[in-house]
Structure 1
């Protein structure tokens, strides 16, 4: 026998006990900026394809969001070099420095034989107020190394303005 409506209360679902985050409807939880910028660390060339920013709801202030760099990394030289993008440092306008989380980033570090291209994401957990802070990023890129792990050049630091695409 089927019963459609009855007078007893509906059983509680596991979701009904969860706290609901209050979010300003105009506040995006994630945003992707198309960057398409080339960073030259001869013989390594890095194309920053995009930057994604994610805000975590109900997260502790020490990990309120994440910044993801979409990268293409190429060795344009004739010798094998070593490059470790997991040694990058991201700095927010507040001056806070954040290293990448190598446990969730793409595995794009290590040996780069001549004419090799690797693609992936480097993910930076960040803290603080993501909505107000992240309009500009400073990224410090480590130097590529030779087969004896000696730097081939100096580190390079760049600033990137995050602007809406029109």
Structure 2
């Protein structure tokens, strides 16, 4: 599993109008609807259900919201860079501006966990996060994320 298989270029966005965690979750659900075709209300509910188990803000301005959806056959990702960080109930209480959402089949088991681990490892790199924060072009953000993986593997 690699980021380029999880994250398609059209799944990367920069958002300037998100002001709350709930609005961010709705923006993620709307973006995922465009990517995977499931109703955004179903995606939103699944994200909220997962978030109710514990916040997915992992610290250092990064959040990894995720959901399992019964109508999927493979894991999909979406990356959003927020122009203005928002409160996300993160573990370190820092506002979030880098969001990598994952959507997995309900029965994906280990694939979902592998995808979460891959994304978490990738966004743990402070240099990469600084580059992501310094760029507002979705194509550049996609390249930074997918090229970082190949650089790390070398």
Say yes or no: TM over 0.5: no
> What TM-score comes out, normalization by structure 2 length?
0.32
Q: Say which structure is richer in strand.
A: 1
Q: Say which structure is richer in helix.
A: 2
> What TM-score comes out, normalization by structure 1 length?
0.30
